[in-house]
Amino acid sequence: MLIVMKTEATDEQVEEVLKVIRECGFKPHPMPGATRTAIGITGNSGAIDPAHFEYLPGVAEAIRVSKPYKLVGRDLKSDDTVVRVGGSEIGGDEPAIIAGPCAVETRQQTMEIAEIVAATGVKFFRGGAFKPRTSPYSFQGHGEEGLKILSEARDRFGLVIVTEVLDTETADLVERHADVLQVGARNMQNFSLLRRVGQSRKPVMLKRGMSSTLEELLLAAEYIMAEGNYNVILCERGVRTFADHSRNTLDLSIIPAVQNRSHLPIIVDPSHGTGKRHKVMPMARAAIAAGADGIMVEVHNHPELALSDGPQALLPHMFEQLVREVHAIHALISQTEVKVGS
């Protein structure tokens, strides 16, 4: 059920509707829009009778939502969601760039790369302190020590920290240091973790599972929003296919598909999506041209020494070029009037 308030509805009338929803034992999710407020309802096991709400003052209509997701959909909120964090935005007018090493390896490595990233004007810095690794014998990240290094990089360079939360046990710790909580591809359907980050007040970047459909991705985001955290960023990072020329197959066609169904921002990770540094720039260009709200890339100043994902890390000069091209392509496609011919 979705309640659409009248354009002229007062704050008191919205409050009254929220109260009635709570009294019915359900959870209201108010979403103020540019012209009117809509209120999503979750927590009901069966259909709700629209008559409960239709005649309350200020209500324009009560609509049954036919889609499996309610809060991530455009029915509830037609305007795009802009996630604001640390003075920067994802989903706003400018493309967001998130960059940094795969993992926090040493203090020196992290500071050097943070300095390179900050010097380009990029605001979002990534790096894993808890790493999801296929082998239990591979480098697992430095945990709390790594988080402290990331916090230091934020303070020193004024960056916004994006880092992965691997499990519910370490969520409190990661939450204390991170600005944006990353849920990795392998955890996209870890429902207890989704619920936990849904209870956080920090934005969540949700990566698409490597074999998940668009609907599964949106329903994973729905888990987070149903807990009350509406600041969710979706991330396409490639899916498994029969292709063997690439680590994954980066599915850029999901960008317009997401934008059609959901108000949430979508960014693209061409580093994990391709696995090789020479493929990162072309796919980053394509992602921005296809309308992505941003990109996330791995950068390393000594990729030959990297403890994880060295082959896909951009060298500093490649990253600087990428930043220039992302802005140039975005400026070109956001021109409202493009002249064809002379």
Decide which of Mn ion, ligand PEP, none touches 293; Cβ closer than 5 to 8 Å per partner kind.
none
Nearer to Mn ion, 9 or 102 (CB): 102
Residue burial 185-199, b: 16+ Cβ < 10 Å; e: rest: bebbebeebbebbbe
Q: Which does 184 bind (CB under 5 to 8 A by kind): ligand PEP, Mn ion, none?
A: ligand PEP
| C-alpha–C-alpha distance, residues 175 and 173, integer Å | 5
Piece of the chain touching ligand PEP by CB under 6 A; list 18-26, 179-187, 254-262, 325-333: 179-187
Q: Under a CB-based contact definition with an 8 Å cutoff, are residues 165 and 207 in contact?
A: no
The binder of 237, among Mn ion, ligand PEP, none, by C-beta within 5 to 8 A per type, is ligand PEP
185 binds, among ligand PEP, Mn ion, none (CB under 5 to 8 A by kind): ligand PEP
Site string for Mn ion, 308-337 (x = CB under 5 A): -x----------------------------
Task: Tell me the number of residues near ligand PEP by CB under 6 A.
Answer: 10
Instruction: Write the CA distances from 131 to 64, 172, 222, integer angstroms.
Output: 41, 16, 25
Distance CA 39, CA 272 (A): 37
Cβ–Cβ < 8 Å for 165, 188? no
Could you give the CA distance from residue 101 to residue 114 in angstroms, rounded to a whole number? Answer: 9
Q: Which is nearer to ligand PEP, 226 or 296 (CB)?
A: 296
Closer Cβ to Mn ion, 126 or 177, answer by number = 126
Judged by CB, which is closer to ligand PEP: 29, or 272?
A: 272
Which is nearer to ligand PEP, 31 or 268 (by Cβ)? 268
Q: Which of residues 93-112 bind ligand PEP (CB under 6 A)?
A: 102
Contact 101, 113 (CB under 8 A): yes
Query: Which residue stretch of 99-107, 153-161, 213-221, 230-238 sits at the interface with Mn ion (rule: CB under 5 A)?
Result: 99-107
103 and 145 in contact (C-beta within 8 Å)? no
Q: Backbone phi, then psi, for 302, in 5-degree steps?
A: -135, 70
Phi, psi at 182, each rounded to 5°: -95, 130
Tell me, rounded to whole angstroms, the distance of Cα 189 from its chain centroid. 15
Residue 235 binds Mn ion, judged by CB under 5 A: no
Question: Is residue 91 a contact partner of residue 83, using CB atoms and an 8 Å limit?
Answer: yes
The least CB distance from residue 134 to ligand PEP, in Å, is 10
Which region, judged by CB under 5 A, interacts with Mn ion, from 55-63, 87-95, 97-105, 236-244?
Answer: 97-105
How many CB atoms sit inside 10 A of residue 90's CB? 29
Spatial contact of 3 and 38, defined as CB atoms under 8 Å apart:
yes
The answer to whether the beta carbons of residues 129 and 175 sit under 8 Å apart is no
- Give the residue closest to Mn ion by C-beta: 102
Q: Which of residues 118-177 bind ligand PEP (CB under 6 A)?
A: 128, 132, 164
Least distance in Å: CB of 135 to Mn ion?
Answer: 14
270 makes contact with ligand PEP (CB under 6 A): no
Residue 102 interacting with Mn ion (CB under 5 A):
yes
Computed from CA positions of residues 98, 183, 88, 113, in that sequence, does the dihedral angle turn out positive or negative?
A: negative
Binding residues vs Mn ion (CB under 5 A)? 102, 309
Binding residues vs ligand PEP (CB under 6 A)? 102, 128, 132, 164, 184-186, 207, 237, 272
